[in-house]
A and B are shown apart, each in its own frame.
Chain A
Amino acid sequence: MGRLIISLAVACFAAAFGLALVNAVTEAPIAEQRRLEVLRAVEETLPPFDNDPVGEALHMPVIPPGEEVPETVTVYVGERGEEPTGVAFAVKGEGYGGFITVMLGVDLQGVISGIQILEHLETPGLGANIEKSSFTVRFKGKSLENSRLVAGNLAVINDGGDIDALTGATISPRGVAAGVSWGLKIFSEYRGRILEEAREGPSPASTGTEPGTGPDAGQEPIPVRGEDR
């Protein structure tokens, strides 16, 4: 009996020790990968900048239109020569298979400078085509002022808006449009505060991207609006 317990304990301690070593080696690269992932999406969507939007990210509590509970949105502000040029943050819309997470970049006038699909569960070959740049480019240059709105939102042509949907897939583009519209409204409402906080420098809560706690903690690199899926 004693031998059994000892051998089990030895196995467990050896495993824990070995894994702690491996974890120590991989922790930094994993955090770096997550940072790069966000940075790539930010570069893709923001107007040209020369600062480090990811390192200086703001964590802003916002109250979404029509809701009461505040949510924290991580905002990446692009600056050029100390002057803000645009803002990027992740938004979510309901697609066909689940939530679609989109990085939305806008300039200071609220005109979309770019969007990139971060995560989605849409049908391969149909709805999944939203991640192609031929689709995402359709949002570039749009704003709540210059677009044909349906119930105050950007919308696909089928719904009376002016964004080209995809062949064989309407629900996924509709989800992207809804998420983007949500983001545009948030921006127009919080524009002043975002820019004010950006001038003051990083808010105390933002100490860069926090390293995840487990091997899978990074599945959702940019937490926004509730949980995924």
Chain B
Amino acid sequence: MSLWHEFNKGIVSRNPLLRLVLGMCPALAVTTAAANGVAMGLAATFVLVCSNFVIAVFRKAIPPAVRIPIFIVVIASFVTVIDLVMNAFAHEMHKVLGLFVPLIVVNCIILGRAEAYASRNPVLASILDGLGMGIGFTLALVVLGGIREMLGNGTIFGVSVVTAAYEPAIIMLLPPGAFLALGLLLGAMNKLTGVEGS
């Protein structure tokens, strides 16, 4: 149980989106472009790291009976912080992500890590856990956003990657494309890692 492992596990072996299948709503909604995936992932990472930190610091002071409401207050506060900060300093991206910035509150990844990890582990390990999970989530969003952007718009991060002969499949940018791409991506992960679906 080295610190490296605490960080590393969230990226591949226990990737929150692709392995634990958490945080699907933002994963489907904002991944019409790879850049949106980066922004959403970083916002979630900020909340994960901060809430894991605060909860780990106060873990012995929080009475178990009211721990969930307190976790929710902590998480909601950091979500408000990132929401206000993005609105002020990354206004365009804030408009694109819209509703899904405040909805980080109910992203199961964050409450899940608070309850399962930060409330019973030391501070440094909790920060690394949050960082790893956040980066894993971000990477998954970027991959999904990249696939959808490439097929649906012929670009990745706004840079054209196809020849003029390719007619972009607009459906990939629409809701059906989101479900399809994530479904196939999860299937591919299962195939590659030799794990069968439940």
What is the chain B residue whose CB lies nearest that of A221?
A: B95
Contact flags A201-229 to B (C-beta < 8 A → 1, else 0): 00000000000000110110000000000
CA gap between A3 and B83 in the complex, in Å: 32
Interface of B is mostly: helix
A11 touches B88 (CB 8 A): no
A27 → B minimal CB distance (Å): 8
Q: Does A70 contact B (CB under 8 A)?
A: no
Interface centre among A11, A23, A126 (most CB of B within 10 A): A11
- Where chain A touches its partner, the secondary structure class is helix
**Separation in Å of the B152 CB from the closest CB of chain A?**
7
Find out whether the CB atom of A29 lies under 8 angstroms from the CB atom of B88: yes
B1 within 8 A of A: no
B174–A124 CB distance below 8 A: yes
A69 at the interface (CB under 8 A from B): no
- Chain B residues near A30: list those with CB within 8 A: 84, 87-88, 91
Given A19-B80, A19-B81, A215-B80, verify A7-B62 contact (CB < 8 Å): yes
Which residue of B61, B76, B87 contacts A15 across the interface (Cβ within 8 Å)?
B76
Cβ contact within 8 Å between B152 and A124: yes
The reply to whether A215 and B87 contact each other, CB–CB distance below 8 Å, is yes
A6 to B85, CA, bound (A): 30
Interface-central residue, B32, B73, B77, B87, by most chain A CB under 10 Å? B87
A124/B32 contact (C-beta < 8 A), A4-B63, A7-B61 known: yes
Closest B residue to A16 by CB, please name it: B77
Q: What CA separation (Å) do A41 and B76 show in the bound complex?
A: 34
Tell which of B77, B91, B98, B173 touches A124, judged by Cβ atoms closer than 8 Å: B173
Docked complex Cα distance between A120 and B98 (Å): 14
Q: Which residues of A sit under 8 angstroms from B80, Cβ to Cβ?
A: 19, 22, 215
**Chain A 10-37: CB-based contact to B (< 8 A → 1; otherwise 0):** 0110010011001100100110010001
How many interface residues does A have (CB within 8 Å)?
A: 24
Given A7-B66, A19-B81, the answer on whether A123 and B88 have CB atoms closer than 8 Å is: no
Asked whether, in the complex, the Cβ of A125 is within 8 Å of the Cβ of B153, the reply is: yes
**A contact residues around B161 at 8 Å (CB):** none
Report yes or no: B88 in contact with A216, Cβ–Cβ below 8 A.
no
Binding site for B on A (CB under 8 A): 3-4, 7-8, 11-12, 15, 18-19, 22-23, 26, 29-30, 33, 37, 123-126, 215-216, 218-219
Q: 6 smallest A-B Cβ distances: which pairs? A: A29-B88, A125-B170, A26-B88, A15-B77, A33-B91, A124-B173
The 25 listed contacts between A and B (C-beta, < 8 Å) are A3-B63, A7-B61, A7-B63, A7-B66, A7-B70, A11-B70, A12-B73, A15-B77, A19-B81, A22-B80, A22-B81, A22-B84, A26-B84, A26-B85, A26-B88, A29-B89, A33-B87, A124-B32, A124-B152, A124-B173, A125-B170, A125-B173, A215-B80, A215-B102, A218-B87
